[in-house]
Amino acid sequence: MQLMFLGTSAGRPTRSRNVTSIALSLPEPQCGFWLFDVGEGTQHRMLGSKLKLNKLERIFITHLHGDHIYGLPGLLSSRGYFEGAGPLTIYGPQGLRAYLDSIFNLTGVHLGYELHVVEITEGEIIADDRFVVEAAELQHRLPSFGFRITERPLSGQLNLKRLAELGVPAGPLFGKLKRGEDVTLACGTTVTASDVVGKPHPGRVVTILGDTRPCENAVRLACNADLLVHEATFAGGLEEKAAAYGHSTFTQAAEIARDAGAKRLVVTHFSSRYDDEEVAELANGVKGIFEQIEPAVEMAEINVPRLPLTNS
């Protein structure tokens, strides 16, 4: 799993930063990706990346402020020009469907693929064979959501030596055992999956939050996450200003990561008053609160690796 930051600026673009969008590339064999927010210019940023719109599977909109959604209609329209663009589902706050319907009706857009818009509430919004995605409302000037993406565990590796000792023939029985099913051989011997399959490999957890003041749901969504993405619009010491606009400071983002027990924190959504050097200094300045903090960099990829498999 990898994250690419297609925009890291708050409110408006700058010469070096676009407005908010994050791509989450999924592991093999799917190799698709999800988008979290689609600020103006997102599809232009994608042209300089390996991301292709026909591989886009889902879009998550944290809230309806323009710097998070003004690029959405154009990107959806462009996706129709890509061969193999299948159905697409968008998840976001109430009002998202009316926003898109109004633009598409007024401009006569024909997408050429199925588009599903799901206006979310708090709780589990996706549960498939790969991932569980949970949403919770944060504290901002508009309804704003955060998302916790939990990868389902991978089954352990087969113990080929033990399978040979037990006389299990290669083929469909291997698949059943790997899925955790006990099997009975032609001779009548029952082979239990736990005897020939290693321990499951825990999935990764990535938490991506929309704009927010510090709040309990931010900590809950980020609990023990492998990676937390949290906004840091203002420098520490500007907490009163941040609260007035529904945002957080670098200090507050570090405190959320610490309180949640997250393993790693990437901050983004920087005020245009700070250049890249100042952003780096602000992040370094709160390492006493949370050591594993780093600022997001435009178009940079951040890998979320698996821990090595451990077999029983």
- Is 276 a residue of the active site? no
| Positions at the binding site | 63, 65, 67-68, 140, 211, 269
Cβ–Cβ contacts within 10 Å for residue 236, how many? 18
- Residue holding tokens 């676009």? 18
| Partners of 303 in the β-ladder | 2
The domains found in the chain, sorted by start residue, are 2-155+201-303 (3.60.15.10), 161-196 (no CATH)
Q: What is the mean pLDDT of residues 34-53?
A: 96
- Segment 169-212, tens digit of pLDDT: 888 887 787 777 888 888 888 888 778 777 777 889 999 999 99
How far is it, in rounded angstroms, from Cα 247 to Cα 217?
14
The Cα angle at residue 274 between residues 273 and 277, in degrees rounded to 5: 160
More confident residue, 239 or 112: 239
Mean pLDDT score, 89-109 = 96
Confidence (pLDDT) at 160 = 84
Q: Which of 37, 67, 101, 128 is catalytic?
A: 67
Residue 283, Ramachandran bin (φ over 0: left; ψ between -120 and 50: alpha; else beta): alpha
pTM over 0.75, yes/no: yes
Average pLDDT of the chain to the nearest whole number = 92
User: Please, which pLDDT band fits residue 311 given cuts at 50, 70 and 90?
Assistant: very low
Mind listing the pLDDT tens digit for each residue in 148-157? 999 988 777 7
Per-residue model confidence as pLDDT tens digits over 261-299: 999 999 999 999 999 999 999 999 999 999 999 999 999
How far is 3 from 8, CA to CA, in rounded Å? 13
Distance separating alpha carbons of residues 65 and 128, to the nearest angstrom: 29
Mean pLDDT along residues 152-164: 80
Residue numbers belonging to the annotated binding site for Zn(2+): 63, 65, 67-68, 140, 211, 269
